[in-house]
Chains A and B, each alone.
Chain A
């Protein structure tokens, strides 16, 4: 069973320490997440992924019986102290528990960038971060960009430049671009493309997005 494998890995990595999800490496997590993605579609009959869910817990079926960890984090400036299931990803925490559905799930496997949020100011794929890893962090989502009902200059630039076609990748594009603009208030098109390379847009509205970000310098505003 994968649970055994998980314990093996735990022993290997954490040398018999009790499982502390906050200490798990990203690689451990991604291996587990990959197994979920494959097994979730049941295309390949792999075993149950080891994401801290034991078979026994699953048999009890009550979601609240999953292993939990207490974390506290700030999301868009609001502090939250809460218990999270160890197998929740950050995007699940944001969307399902905090009702911040602006962050989108496009691939759930670090390919598309639709789920990008800022963690302590840096863009991360929230589909590939465990919620427990956000303990003590400051998270900003697309809902946190507008202040006091006023769009950020970048949001306004997206409105004016048709930065969103279907709009599904837009929150991710906005978050990565916001981080870029904090570091470089007047990027040129090439720098914007470099920064946003991890945010796919199948409408292929790439040029309009870049034009919107580049226009920020002329608007005299940071993101």
Chain B
């Protein structure tokens, strides 16, 4: 472990909890959540509200020759019908070159535009028309009266097949998605000299990995309630970013931002598929305008599965050069990401950046297919990439007779003088996890060496993930009764953002939580916030809260507490930096599994996680973020998939049972340990926690299964059939 001597000095470990931060605190809205008082978007009713339904394509690829809405229009109770002919509205965030979802110029330059209704339709479930009617029954009846004359077109489902000559074209320009400069080229990143690196190696290892489409599958299906009052649109919609949703909706509808109000007080999960605005918002708004009444659009579970998005499926080819002593000299990866028919997000495949090897080449082909759209899911580019590259490295370690943990400690990324970190604790995470888990005992030095049909094995994975700082806004106010109000444009999508923001404010203000009200989830009441995506809320909006509170404290010190009807108000929109240093969170997972080689069933016996996410704001919610994310990763590793019938292009596993989501009975105990550090950045040193856990789980589980059965599992999910197949 001579590399360890390269480490920069560790920052100080933190002492005990502060006054509020570091103490487990019940959510500020916990009572509403357990009494049913919490109003989610679909719970809101407005007088005269209509109900809307969407007609969707039954074909994977078809041109619409003609839509006849006459019979549907004359059905009593129908108030509005819109189609691609009558509502040619571009959904800017639905397809954006390079997947650059927060970049307006890129969106404007995107040529392969996605409309709220498209012709041709490019996947089963693509939207064709929408109806608003007096009730759900009439709306559903009207859908059946819309006559659509389809000309079926050839389709392609698999990304590699889509790039072959003569493949059916999803877009006329070809099936390779354009990059953010609108060029039809793969995403290539080169570091060092890959040819020299591979030439330097004593051994070359190559393999192919693949990962499945995994639906976000949040419990709350998509919906949107649109209400126009004059030229102002109010949207009650489940979104992971009210500010972004407002801006995107305004742009798509040709409005100014201030003409759109987005309200989301409670939100039933998203994990990345409720970022920005969604087509449901635009469809509801357009129907509402046409019908001159509030419109509630509700997606069914199946529509949510096919009409929103999930994690992109990938195929990844690796070529790794290694010295006989286990030092990696070159990593080459060629990857294919199936984006469905629209480029909603990047299609990224990360993971190899976690290795220090200086010769790396990554080429990713984001590819259009006639599957449902792919997009962001909790750590969008990571779990599938870390699974493949860490499986590859695990395999190499065993082939060289090296403990995979030692192999990692030899090869993982570490700070250098050229690449300093705000702090680096991966060594500590790995060391602590290895001890707690008892790695030496549980690992099979010879994979698959257990006697008998039931075999045990252990797997390990590690990760480093962005925890960068950035801008956001907050406002805090105090009145003469010493009651404080914090205005933040966050929505609580599950991790507890309202509470976290309140705790940061209370800490900085030196007040108990009971003296503070948190106002969130409404663009007309709250300032800009970055949105609950990219693990940014705690770090970025939390930092703004801290700065606003500091300002208010200074005002109170200078002017005294307000009296009478007076209030003091402070706002902050800081633009923090990390002084050129890399800021990441770190983690290591260790898992023991038992595989029944007669049935192919995998059971998790022990799961140990160690994470460094800076200072922990709210210990219980942070722990549950890691546990929940880890379980989602286990589901990705063992079960979840969206299978298609190759002959018909029909999706087969559109729901919880079919995709085999984890239930209470599938859940092992996930042990969580945080190494707490304050690196001096972010609010009180807090870092990323929400996405961290899912990154490691597929790699750790896959490595454990391979260790148990002695065969490398290269395809997710590691379902029973695949285990039985490799053991044949």
Contacts and interface: CB of A to CB of B under 8 A. Distances in A.
Interface string A24-64: 00000000000011111111110110000100001111110
A96 to B, nearest CB: 8
B278 interface: no
Nearest to A167: B33
Nearest to A101: B43
Interface string B195-223: 00000000000000000000011111100
Contacts of A201: 219
Give the residue among A151, A168, A198 with the most B Cβ atoms within 10 A: A168
Given A109-B301, A143-B36, A161-B620, A168 B627 contact: no
Contacts, number: 228
A98 B124 CA distance: 36
A68 B234 CA distance: 35
B33 A40 contact: no
Given A41-B300, A111-B301, A171 B268 contact: no
Contacts of B627: 204-205, 207-208
A39 B663 CA distance: 28
B56 A43 contact: yes
Contact of A104 (B219, B303, B655): B219
B495 interface: yes
A53 B195 CA distance: 70
Contacts of B31: 151, 159
A43 B125 contact: yes
A169 interface: yes
Contacts of B27: 159, 162, 164
A66 B58 contact: no
Contacts of B306: 41, 43
B494 interface: yes
Nearest to B266: A167
Contact of A39 (B54, B140, B630, B657): B140
Given A109-B301, A162-B27, A165-B495, A145 B35 contact: yes
Interface in B616-653: 620-621, 624, 627-632, 635
B661 interface: yes
B140 A114 contact: no
Interface size class of A (residues with CB under 8 A): 35 or more
A171 B36 contact: yes
Nearest to B625: A165
Nearest to A209: B664
Interface in A172-194: 174, 192-194
A168 B40 contact: yes
B665 interface: yes
B42 interface: yes
A106 B268 CA distance: 9
B624 A205 contact: yes
A108 interface: yes
A203 B494 contact: yes
Interface of B: 26-27, 30-31, 33-40, 42-43, 45, 53-58, 75-78, 124-125, 128, 134-135, 137-138, 140-141, 143-144, 146, 216-221, 266-269, 271, 300-303, 306, 492-496, 620-621, 624, 627-632, 635, 655-657, 661-665, 667, 669-670
Closest 8 CB pairs of A and B: A102-B36, A168-B268, A61-B76, A61-B77, A204-B631, A101-B43, A166-B494, A142-B36
Interface of A: 36-45, 47-48, 53, 58-63, 66, 87, 95, 99-109, 111-112, 114, 141-143, 145-146, 151, 155, 158-171, 174, 192-194, 196-210
9 contacts: A63-B134, A87-B137, A104-B268, A107-B221, A143-B37, A158-B34, A166-B219, A170-B34, A208-B620
